[in-house]
């Protein structure tokens, strides 16, 4: 039986019953009390090995991280902080662990230290909580879309399209390096390196997702995405997961409404189903904040913040309004931005986004209608001819968590934009076909799953919310 299931019951309901529990030793006190953890909860089960009942040779092998199978009777506990304990009738050591060389001590380790020990860090309470919440969020994502009748479409990992044209792609090659076709000047001929053609790892499933939306009406993708980001920020990974719904017959407002409803839904889901893990992370965060000077501390605790977000409307405003607010802010006048506000048309930097959410509105923000020049070719041109129906959702403490738009469904406008932005038709004919054969207004967005998990768990570094982070500095296993 799982320890979580056991602890959720009234100890009386187990009286006289024999149960078997398997897990790893966290601590062993007084040659008698084993704190056993099986990963289902951070609460350890106290196993009591009655003095004199077990061989000294067996007791010696009960060390931190050894794995055990214990059978015995559940009895109400007199100890503090627990309602029941397991009186061991038999203890079997499944796997020994040499406590002298086991890298984790039964004390608090720094997150940096644990990043170096990424292969074992799930065995700590912090990471166990984070990854149980990650699991629950993933489940909630599927539940949300399934309940609405969306089709889960698996878009390809290896693809010839570069959705963003941002040049952040990993190339996929089938050839040994020395056989890679070369151009006349000796440089690599990328056009032919995947069985004679050019491919890369997907940076977004959106373009393929649009093919699904224009057949099923509403689809979503949820899978790994790759970007050759050579930046070491706390919000970028080279491999991350993205959720990308794409909906026919939606305009930008419908799109924003869905995104807001979706974000609130998955947060509510973990508040209702993962309270123990959230409370654990909330108290961890509160401890950490105590080390900070008064003015650097957050106004709300983690739970309070999440409840605030699900109970309040996101702030909606246009890019043009945002530039106005930023340009007229004291922050800008006192030259506190690293990138000063130069006027309409400039791209917003994360410091500007964070100013808007954290200092100005103090709530999530949906920013819409960006200048066409700083956004991708597929975003729908507005009537003003200058802006596109784009939206970014910005979250306090994180910055951008969602990027989305209404897509350009008018064939002539799309073709004109592709030409102006140098998007090659020979690579995009299949995409353009959706506008040729029964085109419809449609929209979608991409939510960075890890950034969402950061927001929900309060973890400040994105490397701590994905099991095996891929960054320029880590790709070991
Ligand atoms: P940023 O401006 O933060 O670099 P972006 O505008 O390049 O993000 P989009 O192309 O809009 O990102 O992708 C959609 C979402 O995917 C983003 O809103 C973000 O949540 C997430 N995302 C983008 N790049 C990364 C990354 N390198 N690591 C983790 N998540 C990312
Ligand atoms: Mg980026
Ligand atoms: Mg961005
Ligand atoms: Mg974006």
Q: Are residues 289 and 213 in the same domain?
A: yes
Q: For residue range 274-304, what is the model confidence (pLDDT) as tens digits?
A: 999 999 999 999 999 999 898 888 889 999 9
Q: Which residues surround ligand 4, an ion (CB under 5 A)?
A: 403
Q: Are residues 152 and 43 in the same domain?
A: no
Closest atom of ligand 1 to 400 CA is 18
Which domain CATH number covers 132? 3.30.930.10
- State how many domains the chain has: 2
pLDDT of residue 167: 64
pLDDT of residue 28: 96
Distance 256 CA to ligand 1 centre (A): 17
| Contact status, residue 147 vs residue 302, Cβ threshold 8 Å | no
| Contact status, residue 64 vs residue 102, Cβ threshold 8 Å | yes
Give, using CA atoms, the residue closest to atom 23 of ligand 1. 448
Q: For residue range 157-203, what is the model confidence (pLDDT) as tens digits?
A: 998 876 565 668 888 877 766 676 677 877 766 666 566 677 889 99
pLDDT band at 319 (very low <50, low <70, confident <90, very high): very high
pLDDT of residue 13: 81
Sheet-wide strand order for 315-318: 151-152, 218-226, 239-248, 442-448, 399-406, 387-395, 365-371, 315-318
C-alpha closest to that of 11 among 71, 79, 81, 77 = 77
Does pLDDT of 445 surpass 80?
A: yes
Does residue 456 lie in a domain region?
yes
Residue 177 vs residue 101, higher pLDDT: 101
Does residue 358 lie in a domain region?
no
Q: Are residues 457 and 371 in the same domain?
A: yes
93: enclosing H helix or E strand: strand 84-95
Closest atom of ligand 1 to 401 CA is 20
Q: Round the average pLDDT of the chain to a whole number and report it.
A: 92
Give, using CA atoms, the residue closest to atom 2 of ligand 1. 400
- Tell me the residue range of the domain where 406 lies: 123-168+203-314+363-464
pLDDT of residue 164: 62
Longest Cα separation, the chain = 86
pLDDT of residue 145: 98
Does residue 342 lie in a domain region?
no
Q: For residue range 54-78, what is the model confidence (pLDDT) as tens digits?
A: 999 999 999 999 999 999 999 888 8
pTM for the full model? 0.94
pLDDT of residue 409: 98
pLDDT band at 17 (very low <50, low <70, confident <90, very high): confident
Give, using CA atoms, the residue closest to atom 4 of ligand 1. 236
Does pLDDT of 16 surpass 80?
A: no
Which domain CATH number covers 70? 2.40.50.140
Q: Are residues 151 and 275 in the same domain?
A: yes
Of the three residues 102, 135, 153, the one that is the final residue of a domain is: 102
pLDDT of residue 147: 98
Q: For 213, left (φ over 0), alpha (ψ -120 to 50), or beta? A: alpha
Residue 118 vs residue 177, higher pLDDT: 118
Does pLDDT of 321 surpass 90?
A: yes
Q: Are residues 130 and 54 in the same domain?
A: no
Closest atom of ligand 1 to 452 CA is 20
DSSP code per residue over 66-91: -EEEEEEEEEE--STT-SEEEEEEEE
Does pLDDT of 219 surpass 80?
A: yes
For 252, counting Cβ atoms within 10 Å of its Cβ (0-12 exposed, 13-18 middle, 19+ buried), the class is buried
Does residue 306 lie in a domain region?
yes
Pocket of ligand 1 (CB under 6 A): 164, 227, 229, 235-237, 240, 242, 400-403, 446, 448, 450-451
Complex ipTM value? 0.99
| Contact status, residue 343 vs residue 327, Cβ threshold 8 Å | yes
Residue 332, CA distances (Å) to 83, 103, 326 in order = 57, 48, 7
Distance 363 CA to ligand 2 centre (A): 22
Does pLDDT of 376 surpass 70?
A: yes
Does residue 406 lie in a domain region?
yes
Closest atom of ligand 1 to 462 CA is 29
């Amino acid at each position: 039986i799982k320890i979580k299931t056991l602890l959720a019951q009234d100890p009386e309901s187990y009286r006289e019953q024999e149960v078997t529990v398997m897990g790893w030793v966290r601590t062993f006190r007084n040659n008698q009390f084993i704190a056993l953890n099986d990963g289902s909860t951070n609460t350890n089960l106290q196993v009591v090995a009655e003095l004199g009942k077990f061989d000294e040779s067996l007791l010696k092998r009960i060390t931190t991280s050894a794995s055990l199978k214990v059978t015995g009777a559940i009895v109400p506990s007199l100890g503090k902080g627990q309602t029941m304990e397991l009186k061991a009738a038999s203890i079997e050591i499944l796997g020994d662990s040499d406590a002298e060389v086991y890298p984790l001590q039964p004390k608090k380790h720094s997150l940096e230290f644990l990043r170096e020990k990424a292969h074992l860090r799930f065995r700590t309470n912090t990471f166990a909580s984070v990854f149980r919440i990650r699991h629950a969020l993933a489940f909630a994502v599927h539940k949300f879309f399934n309940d609405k009748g969306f089709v889960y479409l698996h878009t390809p990992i290896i693809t010839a399209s570069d959705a963003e044209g941002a040049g952040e792609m990993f190339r996929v090659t089938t050839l040994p390096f020395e056989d890679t076709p070369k151009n006349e000047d000796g440089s690599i001929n990328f056009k032919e390196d995947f069985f004679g053609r050019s491919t890369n790892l997907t940076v977004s499933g959106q373009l393929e997702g649009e093919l699904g939306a224009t057949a099923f009406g509403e689809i979503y993708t949820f899978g790994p995405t790759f970007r050759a980001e050579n930046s070491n920020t706390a919000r970028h990974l080279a491999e991350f997961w993205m959720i990308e719904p794409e909906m026919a017959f939606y305009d930008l407002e419908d799109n924003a409404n869905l995104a807001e409803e979706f974000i609130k839904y998955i947060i509510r889901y973990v508040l209702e189903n993962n309270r123990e893990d959230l409370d654990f992370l909330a108290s961890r965060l509160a401890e950490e904040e105590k080390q900070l000077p008064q003015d650097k501390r957050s106004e709300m605790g983690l739970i309070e913040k999440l409840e605030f977000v699900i109970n309040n409307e996101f702030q909606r405003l246009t890019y043009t309004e945002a530039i106005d607010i930023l340009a007229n802010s004291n922050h800008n006048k006192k030259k506190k931005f690293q990138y000063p506000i130069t006027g309409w048309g400039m791209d917003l930097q994360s410091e500007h986004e964070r100013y808007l959410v954290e200092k100005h509105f103090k709530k999530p923000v949906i920013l819409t209608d960006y200048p066409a020049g700083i956004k991708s070719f597929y975003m729908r041109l507005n009537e003003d001819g200058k802006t596109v129906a784009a939206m970014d959702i910005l979250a306090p403490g994180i910055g951008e968590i969602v990027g989305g738009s209404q897509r350009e469904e008018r064939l002539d406008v799309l073709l004109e934009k592709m030409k102006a932005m140098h998007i090659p038709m020979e690579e995009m004919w299949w995409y353009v076909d959706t506008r040729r054969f029964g085109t419809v207004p449609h929209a979608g967005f991409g939510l960075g799953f890890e950034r969402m998990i950061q927001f929900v768990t309060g973890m400040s570094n994105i490397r701590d919310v994905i099991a095996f982070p891929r960054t320029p500095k880590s790709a070991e296993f």
